[in-house]
């Protein structure tokens, strides 16, 4: 079969790759749509060393089951699925206490073993979630990044009635807006330096959009929240400056959720954190809350579709990475598909 093989930094090759052999409880899936994750781009750019070449990356996908194997989940050939890329052991203390995403024995599709940038991929049946008939498989492929946003908002605790600010309107930051709305947030403010990002943020439900390149963002957020600050700040950039801003944007007793993957060490005002009882917490991928992304995708297909583009054919997947690398600040969710539909042509023309 053909696969997009990561051979090393700035080196992707579409070539022959061994067909996967199914293990117990695995199903064989034909990927239909693949989203390029920023972490895969970072591997291509050699920013992260987690992926060891030669290998097949890819973990944001929807696909059709073509061989159900001997799975014990009742999955059948022809069904359309998405897959949580994290497979946990289900036996350790973390798994048994609802922290399965932190399982020390976890394995990740497209990181620890072959991923979905290929014609066929083996997936443990326990990781699969059926795609409802009314959900476009292209939109379904957004389930993984949306699940990351769902998990991040869950880390914040109760959201209902509270003011939420999201710093960094990239793909996952933008996806967090309808998540916060669905959880009953009293208001959502988006902060970014890109006008296109803020236009999308407004389309996705942000009531206030702050351009940090044109105004002092902490003051703007406090003004938008009646002077008190937000109850919850989701920091989705990962820079020292935006982490400091997030802390300054929350009210006394507020929560800052750190989602952006940035430098190992940052400077923060510890006295301010202590004196105002600001709660800092991290968030990492998703676990069993992955499935909660599906009804959100189904309910907001048109809005989430605005994040997609351009779409590349599978045989042009190398070009997809080269384009994303060159125009990263302009892209949100680049997709790869073997489709040659009008959607493919229209999306590429518009981007």
Q: What angle do CA 316, 321, 327 make, to 5 degrees?
A: 120
pLDDT in the model for residue 340: 47
Calculate what percentage of the chain has a pLDDT beyond 90: 92
pLDDT digits (tens, 9 = 90+) for 70-85: 999 999 999 999 999 9
Domain boundaries, the chain: 2-142+307-350, 147-282
pLDDT digits (tens, 9 = 90+) for 263-290: 889 999 999 999 999 999 999 999 999 9
Q: How many helices (H) and strands (E) does the chain have?
A: 13, 18
Which pLDDT band, with edges at 50, 70 and 90, does 345 fall under?
very low
pLDDT in the model for residue 342: 43
Q: Report, as an integer, the average pLDDT of 13-40.
A: 97
pTM, two decimal places: 0.94
Cα 335 to the center of its chain, rounded Å: 13
**164 vs 8, 174, 194, 259, CA distance in Å?**
40, 13, 20, 15
Distance CA 193, CA 190 (A): 10
For domain 2-142+307-350, give its CATH number from 2.60.120.10, 3.90.180.10, 3.20.20.140, 3.40.47.10: 3.90.180.10
For the cut 80, the answer to whether the pLDDT of residue 26 exceeds it is: yes
pLDDT in the model for residue 264: 86
Tell me which residue of 39, 123, 109 sits closest to 81, measured CA to CA.
123
The alpha-helical segments, DSSP class H, found in the chain are 38-44, 93-96, 137-140, 143-155, 171-182, 195-204, 217-224, 240-249, 270-275, 293-299, 301-305, 317-326, 342-350
CATH 3.30.160.20 is the classification of domain 147-282? no
The two three-digit tokens of residue 150, written as one number? 């769902």
For the cut 90, the answer to whether the pLDDT of residue 308 exceeds it is: yes
Q: Coil, strand or helix: which one is 205?
A: coil
């Amino acid at each position: 079969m053909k696969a997009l093989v990561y051979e090393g930094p700035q080196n992707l090759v579409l070539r022959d790759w061994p067909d996967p052999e199914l293990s117990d409880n695995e199903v064989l899936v034909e990927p239909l749509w693949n989203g390029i994750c920023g972490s895969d781009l970072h591997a291509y750019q050699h920013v992260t060393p987690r992926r060891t070449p030669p290998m097949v990356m890819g973990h944001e996908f929807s696909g059709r089951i073509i061989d159900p194997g001997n799975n014990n989940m009742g999955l059948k050939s022809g069904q359309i699925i998405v897959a949580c890329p994290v497979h946990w052991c289900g036996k350790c203390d973390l798994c048994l206490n609802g922290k399965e995403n932190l399982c020390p024995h976890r394995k990740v599709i497209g990181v620890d073993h072959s991923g979905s940038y290929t014609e066929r991929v083996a997936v443990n049946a326990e990781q699969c979630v059926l795609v409802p008939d009314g959900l476009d498989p292209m939109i379904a492929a957004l389930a993984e990044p949306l699940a990351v946003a769902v998990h991040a908002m869950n880390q914040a605790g109760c959201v209902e009635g509270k003011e939420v600010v999201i710093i960094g309107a990239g793909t996952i930051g933008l996806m967090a807006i309808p998540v916060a709305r669905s959880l009953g947030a009293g208001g959502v403010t988006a902060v970014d330096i890109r006008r296109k990002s803020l236009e999308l943020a407004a389309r996705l439900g942000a009531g206030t959009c702050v351009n940090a390149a044109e105004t002092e963002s902490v003051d703007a957020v406090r003004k938008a929240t009646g002077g008190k600050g937000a109850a919850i700040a989701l920091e989705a950039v990962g820079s020292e400056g935006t982490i400091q801003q997030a802390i300054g944007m929350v009210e006394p007793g507020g929560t800052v959720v750190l989602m952006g993957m940035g430098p190992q060490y940052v400077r923060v005002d510890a006295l301010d954190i202590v004196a105002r009882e600001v709660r800092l917490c991290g968030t990492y991928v998703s676990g069993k809350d992955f499935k909660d992304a599906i009804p959100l995708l189904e309910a907001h297909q048109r809005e989430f579709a605005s994040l997609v583009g351009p779409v590349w054919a599978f045989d042009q997947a190398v070009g997809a990475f080269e384009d994303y690398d060159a125009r990263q600040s302009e892209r949100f969710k680049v997709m790869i598909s073997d489709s040659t539909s009008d959607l493919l042509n229209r999306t590429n023309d518009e981007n």
